[in-house]
Amino acid sequence: MAAYTGPRRATSTATTVVVDASVASWLPAPAFFRNVSLANASTINPENGLGDQVYHANNGFDGTWIAYAGGAFASALGALGSMVFFSGGNGAYDGNGVVAYDIADRTWAMLSQPDNTGVYRTSTGPTSSNSTHSLDSDAVSDRVGLSGHYIKDGFGNAYAGTEVTGNSTTVWKPFPIHSLCGITYLPPDAGGGTYGSLIVVGHDMNGIRVLSANGKIFRFDLETHVWSAINFPFYQFQIEVAAEYDSFNKLLWVSNSGSNRPFVWSYLTNSGGVLNNPTINNSNNYGNLVYMPLRKIMVTLAATPPSTVTIRYLDLNGYTHGTSSPPGTSVTLTTVSSGNITGSAPVSMLINANGANDKLDYCDYDGCLYYLLRATGGTACTLYKLTPPAVGSESTGTWTWSSEPINQHDGSTTFACRGGRIEPTWGGRARYVHSLKSIIMSDSPSLPVQAIRSSSWV
């Protein structure tokens, strides 16, 4: 594994990034996309050879990508970093293993196997009282603890250990949940461990009834492959959740559904909680939260159906984190005037029939935000770009939306730049990778990973 050198400071203009020749040979040219993986993730499916018995539920391994799923780019896992995925639940998939794609090796691996061996959905499973899956609440099956982790297997046998009610060093693997944008990466220098950690925000959903006193944010150490958790007061997220890492303060920020205040946590000092201010009304936000390090702001979008996307941001300049409750100084939430926004926003990222979301991603090559609208048919996708104003004039300057088509690198129409087979725009499974000047995207275990490159990433 490559040594981690810490978060890179971005500039507001394009920087020089030289892509290694051995890597460049398999990357697309600017304005194109390309299939890049050597094998599909289906080759490591934990169900292989087991038929329809274990973890499958309704969608099987696909649920890691299509069940309102998100992913994270882990910069210190592998020579060029890795894409890491965790999702499922709600009857889609009961396997709660962690899946990783090594960008340099272009191969897939299971970092942890599903915890819930013996959870069946067919008549070949154990007795009906124990043949539970992720549409069963813990009140019925008594398999899922009040913190959202497994305490019994599908046969009703208890795992060693007891229900965790406080902050803990180790807990059982979390129940599979829709990860959406409530999944992010905690780097080594922020307390993430040698290769960093995957952060997954636990929440209430069909199949799990988390009590507020037992809400958790789960952390998966990418070196030791051990789960741990901290207390989390907001638990009824359903699908509206956002988690983002603040590289300047080395803090985790979480925004939840409804009108609530930000939750912030330091894994270096094991301290945090809910801020006094501001209150963020996320009823039409659906979990977008993206950090812009040069500006020290956290952008959070909102939508007014059917066609308006509002740009808001938390100003973290001057924020001081403490160990008391609330854990630090309040921050300011600013809404950018509609008169200061030009171009056409990708309304589809916030509004669709189910009110789900995809996530903007920050590009440190040019300091802009990007959103990939994957196509469900055809050979092209659309890459949206949000260009901010000059640093320091975020509230008075002009934010500009623009877009461009991204086409197949070699002219082949064998594979389109597509979305998940069920939800083409949900969850944020596309992440910008600095060392490649490209977005890496995976949305199905049965299809190749793709690299996508803007025409401006030269």
Residue 22 neighbours by CB under 8 Å, 6+ apart: none
Domain annotation covers residue 437? yes
Domain annotation covers residue 6? no
Using the CB atoms, write b or e for 207-234: b if 16+ within 10 Å.
bbbbeeebbbbbbbbbbeebbbbbbbeb
- Global confidence as pTM: 0.86
- Burial (CB count <10 Å: 0-12, 13-18, 19+), residue 306: exposed
Domain annotation covers residue 15? no
Give all strands of the β-sheet with 197-201 in edge-to-edge order: 183-186, 197-201, 216-221, 227-231
What is the residue-wise DSSP string for 189-200?
A: GGTT-TT-EEEE
User: Which tokens hold the place of 70?
Assistant: 């998100």
Domain annotation covers residue 395? yes
- Burial (CB count <10 Å: 0-12, 13-18, 19+), residue 334: middle
Domain annotation covers residue 3? no
Domain annotation covers residue 442? yes
pLDDT of residue 76: 96
pLDDT, tens digit (0-9, with 9 covering 90-100), for 238-296: 556 789 999 999 999 998 766 678 899 999 999 999 898 888 765 555 567 899 999 99
CATH number at residue 186: 2.120.10.30
Domain annotation covers residue 2? no
Number of domains in the chain: 1
**Whether 384 contacts 400, CB under 8 Å:** no
pLDDT of residue 212: 55
pLDDT of residue 57: 75
CA-based nearest residue to 144, from 79, 189, 81, 211: 211
Domain annotation covers residue 458? no
Angle at 256 between CA 276 and CA 327, to 5 degrees: 30
Distances in whole angstroms, Cα of residue 98 to Cα of each of 108, 229, 331: 11, 16, 34
Boundaries of domain holding 403? 21-452
Q: 160 phi and psi, to 5 degrees?
A: -65, 145
Give the residues of the chain that fall short of pLDDT 70.
1-18, 21, 50-54, 115-173, 204-214, 234-240, 257-259, 281-287, 303-307, 347-358, 374-380, 410-428
- 219 vs 186: CA distance, rounded Å: 9
